[in-house]
Amino acid sequence: MFDKLDPLLHSELRLAIMSVLMEVDEADFVYLRQQTGATAGNLSVQLDKLAAADYITVEKGFQGKKPRTTCRITDTGRNAFAAYVEALRSYIGQ
Please list the pLDDT of the chain residue by residue as tens digits (94 residues). 778 899 999 999 999 999 999 999 999 999 999 999 999 999 999 999 999 999 999 999 998 999 999 999 999 999 999 999 999 998 888 6
Q: Which residues are bridge partners to 61 per DSSP?
A: 68
How far is it, in rounded angstroms, from Cα 31 to Cα 63?
Answer: 15
Residues 20/29, Cβ–Cβ less than 8 Å: no
Q: Which structural domains are found in the chain, ordered by start?
A: 12-82 (1.10.10.10)
